[in-house]
Structure 1
Amino acid sequence: MIKDNLEFVERKICEACEKAGRDRSEVTLIAVSKTKPVSDIRQAMDCGIRVFGENKVQEIRDKHEAITENVDWHMIGHLQANKVKYLPGIVCMIHSVDNEKLALEIEKQFAKANIVADVLIEVNMAGEDTKFGLAPDDTIEFVKAISSLEHIRIRGLMTIAPYTDDPESNRVYFKGLRELKDKINAEGIQGVKMDTLSMGMTGDYQVAIEEGATFVRVGTGIFGERDYSNIK
């Protein structure tokens, strides 16, 4: 099933890239493996997948320990400051930075490890009460506030669009995130040159690619429906 699903997703990514006049190499597929066993991840690895996304720190630590092969782990879920200390040396990118306390803790913990953390700023483009992330209007000032931190490299922006049966309805949010990235780059903030947009999930990643996504986060479309009953 996973092999067939990955082949389907790959076709859809290629179609979206072709439609948008983009090269396939511009888009990285993050296989969102949260709640899924290591055996499923290994099936995806057998198909050539090397980039995985997790929502919980304990789960990403356990899977990193179990899988010794060279794969890239992305922390894509909401991150509490008191859990940051477990991430240096494990994750290659944190997608969900949205407050100064968290940014300062990332700086502190990654400085201890003498590592620079690649991060994305999470933006709540749709203004949903149930979602984390900065308001678009607050994002530029936040980027300026943390841009001088020596062990944080701000690579771009991330958003979680509303769940919808109509992917087209999310185009406005993806377009808005791309325009916000361009606006921030135009500010010429020292040390900040954004090149990354993490947007689009199983239901809408094609639209996200058409609007400039460089990371798409696909979980259910690869691994199937999730069972949350055993997740703490």
Structure 2
Amino acid sequence: MTKIFTLKNLIGIALILFPALSHAQSSKIFVELGGKHQRSKSNTPENVRISSEEEMQNARIAPIFGFYLNDHLSMGVEYAYSNQERNRISSERMEDFSKNETYDQSVSLNSFGFFSRLYAKKHCSKFNVFIQLKPAFTKSNNRYEARGATMGYEPTYTSSLYESKGTTKIDIYEIDLGLGLSYKIFYGLAAQLNIPSVINHSRLYYDLTDAKQSYTSIFQSTLSNANLSFNYQF
């Protein structure tokens, strides 16, 4: 059964954040916008008779609102949207049959999270590094479609077409520990390299089957998930 935030949960979060928000009245507020865009294409013929071509595109954007509790600690909220498009075409040619297949996949994620950052130096320093802890809730929507055709030659000529498609929806609750490096370009504006998922613990709830899955990862796809952001401090 998928969990949802109840009024009791929201009141509890408000009680936790209220002291921090009260203290932040004299602290400096910042906004941050980060993201990335990747596109790759590969052609991997295994041999003369078997070949495949795959194209992937991955985009992410994440606006952030936060405040400094003191010179070394900040808190805030983050919304992130990401989308991954994948297309694969494969073909197989043998003496007695041939097979062609196309696979299309689209994965979109909407994520809402709270974060806290601990800085090695004062937040006004030109160079800085920080550790970030972020609990988050993510809704994932995975759509896929596969189409193919096979043809047999000898001893008889036969052909068949097939198609399959579907959607998988997943609710994800996670706690993520990441790292960051910032460089102040000029007063108020800084560029940051964010490296999430150094340590990550996630719990997945599959909407259609009510199945549950939990896993913990350490340094898994950390560098491939790295992204740039710009931070402006008021």
- TM-score past 0.5 threshold: no
Flag the structure with more relative contact order, 1 or 2, with Cα contacts below 8 A and sequence separation at least 6.
Answer: 1
Q: TM-score range by the shorter chain?
A: under 0.3
